[in-house]
Structure 1
Amino acid sequence: MFFSHPRRITLPRPAGSARRWATPAAITARGVRVTDIRRETDDAVTLTLATEDGRPLPFRAGQYLTHCFNIDGAEVRRAYSLSVAEGEPPACTVKLLPGGLVSQYVVTRLKIGARYRVLGPSGDFVLTPGERGPLVMLAAGSGITPIISLIETALRADPQRRVRLLYINRDPARTLFDARLRAAQARYPRFEWTPWYTASAGRPDAARLAELLQPEIDAQIYLCGPQPLMDAATAGLRAAGVAAARIRRERFIPAPRHQQRPTAPVEIRFLRSGRTIVQRPGESILEAGLRAGLALPFSCTVGGCGHCRVRIRDGEVCLDEPNCLSADERAAGWTLACSACALTPLTVDA
């Protein structure tokens, strides 16, 4: 159903690429069982998984699984990166976040033998097939989880490959995978790990990050950490002459919320179900729909996978940035239910 009057769609987007993951194809759901829980630090654990049907769960280094936990009677989904090399049993590392419902559950309550569903694997924060040039990695905190998967996979495929890592933490006690990184240093002569501790050295600025990373002319650069850190690293590298196409970024948390948010309830009409629901102030389209009992598809909930994509037929939205939508998708009226909210009465094809 289309409307005869013009539709207003506001989809603000800053310049430059903000893609985290590829536009989704079908996302596969698999039942898994927790076979091991390994304590990494005081506030982080690694879950090793086995599929319920016994079939392999192949993945590429740098990808993630969306974990569908039942917490106190409600399904909650979170995307966690795979933190092992390709070919190993799937494992994801979860760090406790202040006030984090799911991370609190995983780190303090989940037990070996627990069963639940995962979606995926998904994601395009991966190595380029056939590429054997140098790699330069920047990770901060739990941002090391996809990075260590990339590092170990790359070095196992080519032990002579030049790989350098700058890993930023508050202090040594917060360093994830310390033993694995030291083992890689001992085994692979061309792997270089530079730790940086903000408690003693402070936070490096853009110029210092570019100096520390010093990428070779043909290096591929992978960044994973808090948005301000990746922004600073990108600015420093670009100022040093590094092409944007050589820089890849990954983020774990939702994009900063857009300042233009409704302060009153807004009606949203879902064409396929015929339902009209009310979005409360502060809610996303997805949150409002799920609260009203609509069966809406979603996966990562941070604007990265595109599984919750809906098409706007009428009305105005604001959309958190950055996210995975392409310019063509935006021009065609698509938005992300998990990252957008209705500013005016809205009709969506969902």
Structure 2
Amino acid sequence: MSARRPNRFDAMNLVERMFDPAPQAEDRLSSAGTWECGGTLWASNEQQTLTCCRVVDETHDVKSFEFQIGDGTPVRFEPGQFMTVSANVQGQSVERCYTISSPPTRPYLLSITVKRVPGGTMSNWLHENMKPGNQLRAYGPSGSFTPASGRAAKSLYLSAGSGVTPLMSMTRASIDLGLDRDIVFVHSARTPADIVFRKELQRLVELSGGLRTFFVCEGLGDEEDWSGPTGRLSLQLLSEWVPDYAEREVFTCGPAGYMSAVRELLREGGHDPARYHQESFDIAAGAAPEPAAPENDTAHETFTVKLSRSSKTFTTRASETVLSAARKAGVPIPSSCSQGICGTCKTKVLEGTVDMKHNGGIRDREVQKGFRLLCCSRPTSDLVLEL
């Protein structure tokens, strides 16, 4: 990397501007999808080595893994963003997206908080193998689920399970900066023992008069003296806790079923959908099936794809995505969600054209600069890619 190193004050000023209800003219996004504020950045399509510094047991099946990047340089990202980690598991290369749970106000340490999922390839590998001193490869921060997507004077954070992680990064950042923002944080869990960051959230409430937290659990588990509500979040419960929820900018993250239920709950309560933001992919999920190709007369037309840096070439049909064709040809291209969401496969198209149908993983200004998501791009001509 070149140019000057970003410093702590740059990061703090950046995050403070992100939480400001009035957008600042100097905020801008780079072509790689990272936030520029006068310093060197870790691009979302650039892979680096992380070294584990500490492992923290958050609950019986959730651990936080703290990392230092490369030679210890600070990392710039937006609270709520994720990164894609890569590991060799039983001889197979596995990549997964995990939200960064640490705040950008602590730029020398990155953490991901991972729930051990039954049958989950990466989550089980991390829980069993990642120890201080061990290394992990990762791609730079990406994603648009951040405070910048909905600046407001008052916020409502709604999370379930490990969906607490991006909202925790936002909360930690706000309190680190002493912003004393009006945040109501409502978290749903299976039992009280499954509430991730429970003690820390209680401590953060003591540090900030603007933060309020509420928990609802489906059952008691082993904590029979639990005094909070049991069951699931309802409009009645939300109205009791947050009477002004309709006036708040809402950020939601959790399992797909939970987020769907929350959207319906808020719609029923009259909340403006324009002020609703959610993390749009399952953090613990693996690669999704390739999006269906549209039927047309040119579906079987064949094109050539050349990689400018390695000079490798492969062929692809008009009916398949560039990423799928690359995999069949044995050409390694960074990828994770395969749904046009995470942005890991973002690549610049130097020559040629594609038909791209994405789901939010790339910004308009990146498209204007020639970048495309290969997982959801089908060729309409021969291509030359910046790879």
TM-score bracket for this pair, using the shorter chain length: 0.7 to 0.9
Given the superposition, is the C-alpha separation of residues 314 and 23 from structure 1 closer, same or farther in structure 2, using an over 3 Å criterion? closer
Q: Assess if the C-alpha contact under 8 Å between 1:168 and 1:196 holds in 2.
A: yes
Corresponding position: 1:271 with 2:289: no
Which ranges of structure 1 fall in alignment gaps of 5 or more residues?
A: 1-20
Query: Cα distance 1:236–1:242, how it changes in 2: closer, same or farther (>3 A)?
Result: same
Instruction: Pick from 75, 80, 100 the counterpart of residue 82 of structure 1.
Output: 100
Contact 1:68 1:76 in 2 (8 A): yes
Distance of aligned partners of 1:258 and 1:327 in 2 relative to their CA distance in 1, 3 Å threshold: farther
The root-mean-square deviation of aligned C-alpha atoms, in Å, is: 4.1
Q: Say which is worse superposed, 253-262 or 31-40, in terms of deviation.
A: 253-262
Over the matched positions of the two proteins, sequence identity in percent amounts to 26
Aligned match of 1:119 in 129, 136, 139?
A: 139
Q: Corresponding residue for 1:203?
A: 232
Deviation at 1:228, TM superposition (A): 2.3
Distance 2:150 2:232 in 1: 35
1:221 to partner: Cα distance? 1.2
Q: Does 1:183 find its partner at 2:183?
A: no
The answer to whether residue 262 in structure 2 is matched with residue 233 in structure 1 is yes
1:20-59 equivalent positions in 2, closer than 5 A:
24-25=32-33, 26-27=43-44, 28-59=46-77
Letter in 2 for 1:85: P
Cα distance in 1 for partners of 2:152, 2:127 equals: 37
Q: Which amino acid aligns with 2:101?
A: S
The answer for the alignment partner of 1:249 in structure 2 is 278
Shift of 1:147: 0.7
- Contact 1:167 1:196 survives alignment (8 Å): yes
Distance 2:354 2:342 in 1: 24
Cα distance between partner residues in 2 of 1:325 and 1:180: 34
Q: 1:194 aligns with which of 207, 214, 229?
A: 214
Cα distance in 1 between the residues matched to 2:30 and 2:259: 19
The one-letter amino acid of 2:90's match is D
Shift of 1:235: 2.7
- Is the contact made by 1:301 and 1:338 (CA closer than 8 Å) also made in structure 2? yes
Q: 1:268 to 1:294 in 2, by over 3 A?
A: farther
CA distance in 2, matches of 1:300, 1:286: 12
**One-letter identity of the residue aligned with 2:204:** A
Identify the residue that residue 111 of structure 2 maps to in structure 1: 91
Q: Structure 1 residues 315, 245: closer, same or farther in 2, change over 3 A?
A: closer
Change (3 A) 1:72 1:277: farther
- Distance of aligned partners of 1:258 and 1:57 in 2 relative to their CA distance in 1, 3 Å threshold: closer
C-alpha displacement at 1:285, in angstroms?
A: 6.1
- Deviation of residue 348 (structure 1)? 7.3
Shift in alpha-carbon separation, 1:225–1:33, aligned structure 2, 3 A: same
1:47–1:93 Cα contact (<8 Å) kept: yes
Distance between the aligned counterparts of 1:125 and 1:297, measured in 2? 21
Match of 1:6 in 2: none
Alignment CA distance shift 1:52-1:322 (3 Å): closer
Tell me what 1:171 maps to: 191
Using the alignment, how far apart are the partners of 2:31 and 2:255 within structure 1? 23
Aligned match for 2:361, one of 309, 324, 335: 324
Deviations, residues 328-347 of structure 1 (Å, cap 9, x unaligned): 999xxx9854468x8xx987
Partner amino acid for 1:249?
Q
- Residue in 1 aligned with 2:5? none
Q: 1:30 to 1:190 in 2, by over 3 A?
A: same
Say which of 143, 147, 154 aligns to 2:163: 143
Q: Deviations over 1:205-258 (max 9, x none)?
A: 5x4576355444542211001122212222332343322231111144259869
Higher relative contact order (CA 8 A, sep 6+): 1
TM-score (norm 1): 0.74
Unpaired runs of at least 5, structure 2:
1-28, 34-42, 221-229, 295-299, 308-312
Say whether the 8 Å CA contact 2:54–2:66 is kept in structure 1: yes
Q: 1:47 to 1:123 in 2, by over 3 A?
A: same
Change (3 A) 1:94 1:347: farther
